[in-house]
Structure 1
Amino acid sequence: MTPTFGAGGDEPYARALQNDGQLLLVPAGAPGSRSLVMDVGRWSSAADATDMSLIEEGTGPLLDIGCGPGRMVRAALTAGYNALGIDVSRAAVGVAHAAGVPVLEASVFDRLPLEGEWMTLLLVDGNIGIGGDPSALLERCAELLSPTGCVLVEVQHDAAVDRTYDCTVVGDDGRASASFPWAEIGSAALARRAAPFGLGPVQSWTRDGRSFCRLEHRV
């Protein structure tokens, strides 16, 4: 089984979810990449204005891929959408369930409900990096997506960025996860990788220091 975000080793992600701590994403052998601070407390908090504006770009049914504790699923439900989250982290799914958020403990590459019928797919908080292979992830999104739906992707500010690498997650106490594959991608690289699967960008924008792209099936 491919190692996943923050799992294995000393399980820092699971502990950070319990205390709203911070994590450090530490690349190994990735020129140009730097360690990134990840605020798990924000993932567990209510959606902010930027999150809500992203939700409003889509419609239901909405699937949040790598949903963590379920903040964006809650936001979508608040907006009146049918929504579901998926995550491979049992700890994150447990937090979501405790808050009454509908989340499946599953990989995006598993057989999922509503195959080919989702109107909105979310890949936020760096989740285009899931599995360290954006092309494989985008191919799967094309399969899940309705012919008239959209994929909303949070991307790097530099449009040309396209990096894959192994990394670890380190908690506040210095304890680290097992190594796992991850990726970073900008809008131009996203468009290039999405094209073979019939997806193309129709909009790119930045808000409050975060950058996003909207992909749709090309006619």
Structure 2
Amino acid sequence: MATTERITTPAPGPRGSAPDADGAWSADPYALALGNGRGPLFLRRTDGWLLPLDVERWCAEADAADLEVLRRCEGAVLDVGCGPGRLVAALSRQGRRVLGIDVSEAAVARTRRLGAPALHRSVFAPLPGEGRWGTALLIDGNIGIGGDPAALLARTGRLLAPGGLLIAETVPDLDLDERVQVHVTDARGATGAAFPWARLGTPALLRYAEHAGWRAVAQWTAGGRSFAALRSGRPSGSRAAAG
């Protein structure tokens, strides 16, 4: 992936903190957008900058870029921040062992309506099969969950089996390391509560990963999106499949 710029913004809170984003992602703008299957919907920074959220793609069937991600998954799959459930549903239809988790009740409800398993749960809360998942997914910008990539990588490593796989989607074409306060907003100006968020390009993700003992095993682009696969460096001692 081409590196064109490196941008760093200080973290908004103490390292290792796991802010509760349930209220933000369950606010009416997000829930309504998922209910309608369309936007416009945005993350708004405190300086007014808007990041469009691709609600229509999230609510559609898994596309070719998604299917390439799913092809690389190993063992039982945990989709962290599963949203309306397209990846969980696609894996379930393939007969794969999979679970989606999300802090949004609307997202979990939509995932379940697709016939796919999902829990209303934060990644930082106790989860089934801890230490036994074969693959964890952080897709659609979910490497930003909690606004602290190092804390999220550490938590994900504890969820995976030894040598487990993490597949994360990153910001294309930027060496970006941005940690800011944002809130969900729609075209009418309705907003949810503010919460910490992060955006990473692949180079920044790989720096965090190397520091935390992960091993990069693949990088690729598809459909204008960028992805990286990391192998857990956690010592053995747990079973390799979720139960």
TM-score, length of structure 1 as denominator length: 0.91
Is 1:19 matched up with 2:36?
Answer: yes
Residue 140 to residue 19, structure 1, CA distance change in 2 (3 Å) = same
Alignment of 1:133-172 (within 5 A): 133-172=148-187
What secondary structure does 1:56 align onto?
A: helix
Question: 68, 81, 86: which is aligned to 2:96?
Answer: 81
Question: 186, 191, 199: which is aligned to 2:214?
Answer: 199
Q: Give, in angstroms, the shift of residue 53 of structure 1.
A: 0.9
Distance 2:159 2:20 in 1: 23
Cα RMSD between the aligned structures? 2.0
Equivalent residue for 2:46?
A: 28
Question: 205, 219, 230: which is aligned to 1:190?
Answer: 205
What secondary structure does 1:104 align onto?
A: strand
Which 5+ residue runs of structure 1 have no aligned equivalent? none
Counterpart of 2:30, as a letter, is Y
The Cα offsets for residues 148-171 of structure 1, whole Å up to 9 and x where unpaired, read as: 321000001235211100011111
What secondary structure does 2:53 align onto?
A: strand
Which 5+ residue runs of structure 2 have no aligned equivalent? 1-17, 236-243
List, as ranges, runs of 4+ consecutive aligned residues in structure 1 with deviation greater than 3 Å: none
Relative contact order higher in (CA < 8 Å, ≥ 6 apart): 2
Identity of counterpart residues, as a percentage? 44
Q: Give, in angstroms, the shift of residue 5 of structure 1.
A: 7.0
> Does structure 2 retain, via aligned residues, the 8 Å contact 1:159–1:189?
no
Q: Give, in angstroms, the shift of residue 105 of structure 1.
A: 0.5
Equivalent residue for 1:125?
A: 140
> Does structure 2 retain, via aligned residues, the 8 Å contact 1:187–1:213?
yes
